Structure 1
């Protein structure tokens, strides 16, 4: 056995403590035996902060490695092969399934190790072996990393004649090799626009524009990003965060229509207006983040052919137009958690893309109209921490059927809603659904 293999084994044993979790052990048994440390609720609850990353790790299943064996539910739906646990809870002919809550308990026993593993990865508790290894092994790992060859492409990169003269461009800064422009030190928006319209740029295409600050210290009443802000200079990523911006003009990002892939406008707490209707021109846009702001409504978005990730969480959204997301064929993640929604109207979530992760957690939702979710059903629906008095069978069975029949590891999270046994009686007829449904209680 060579030294590198031995080192990896030692680091792995050190990080894992030499212990494994039995496949069939329950959460209670694991905690009492000391095999599985109790999962602190603050860490699990904090998954909302990293939920997209958490669920994306679980989204695609490795169907090639799974046996072809399948199980049929009482509704005639083809159940995911991993649901074979249902054979442990046989159903007598002509009667309801034997205690669906037992099925949920089996689900817990199967999923607890996965939960702990994924939460730790998200929170960084034990994912990095070099951090959990003893000091001696950590030092050795660092030495090995230092001996890795340098990236020849980075060494040979020509970084000359990329940035404007630094004395003319101050307080903005430009990194010639990464082509990142950082204007976090500008004193007001007029100064920002003047720089881009008066300074001579050797090239017109840069990777990232960055402006991350807590306020414009000189002129606090300048809160509009005006049209043609960058004077024709284009970017792949635009990051404007923690500013006092309140509104963004329709053509503020003109010049980047064919290059822009990500817009991040997080924690601009006064931002109330964003030109959603203009996103149709950004044909390569993949990610739009407007989180931690003051948006109150979402209009119908024009077609954005490449948009995969739309983050609208932590706003003040009370209204979403019907068909708002109907023309987003590449959509994968839609996050509207931590807002002020109360009612989900018909066709609000008319989705043209398959396998969409929809997050509506931490709102005030107490009513969902028929066909609120229409055309393609979500692969994951997080509607936890709301005020739903009942789970309507006609609304949730199409989503559950879609989840069960797909090749994705999806489910519905309906935890922390004021539900009672009578509100979910229909679930007792189809115990398979409990494998794909998070409920904080009751155990009917």
Structure 2
């Protein structure tokens, strides 16, 4: 594993050596991977941790009376402790394993929402949210007679904080907002949003999927009520997520799913439920995924995170400078506070066509509406081309992107 903590300049090339997938050709060209907002690549240490579990420790957790179960349980619960430390949760039992950010939001909407929402209550959701932070609220609102309202976003792709404040009243029960927009890379003022929501007694749920891989997150400093993210956007495996919640809220919420592990005792006369966090973890969990996430956190913590963040900021600035100097490119999402995402349009070309031509040259980007249809409709566009960066990307990757765009425009414009 690369450790950059003692170097003056973040060495992205050295870090790249830890990621096997980056060292391949695609369509006859060296791969340039610029789709990190969709999923990040995995360092060898994460891959090996998962292999080691299956080769050496494969067993169910918590209840086995043998060595393999003990080892698996120790690594499984050790990863929970690592996550709690990683986001500065007060205690590990506030960390709930889910299948991803999407399930974490659905869990809160279903469990907390069903127990606490009533007719006429309001749920405020930013206009640039991912669909997974819109639809669960719509479903529970329809069931309970509540309403979902969008928090305005301006032409630069930033939340209108004054407009948000004007929307607040005692009927607002939940505010749901992304820490970072997956469509634009906008860093939202979630600490201010949580503080303003508290002023009217509302709770806040923050979607941190696009944030945790870029800088340290402190949920206690943010003072949000819930925070969710996915392992696969933190250099860990797919199919695993984390829900953090304040202890009193989690203890009061009813179970989301039922089955093994989430119970304390079962009889046909009635059932009592397990304590936190297990009340929300029915069935056999993704043990290998949890262990992989623990390895991913170890890896990230071994890097110079400040240096990595500065490196990513410099890459984004360089890419946007090149875009502004290139005729026919229109940047979409130009908020002052951004991280690692450059969304754009190529004049006269559909984003999907641009993406296909870039892929032919070994450059991987994302195209489409990025599961953010409402904000795309507000901007009057079908979608964008999205290049998203991580600490293993380099200026050479940015140069390759623009070389590929120059060739693509010969066919498209």
Bin the TM-score by the shorter chain.
under 0.3
Q: Which has the higher contact order (CA 8 A, sep 6+)?
A: 2
Asked which structure has the greater CA Rg, the reply is 1
Q: Output the TM-score relative to the length of structure 2.
A: 0.24
Structure with the larger helix share: 2
Q: Output the TM-score relative to the length of structure 1.
A: 0.22
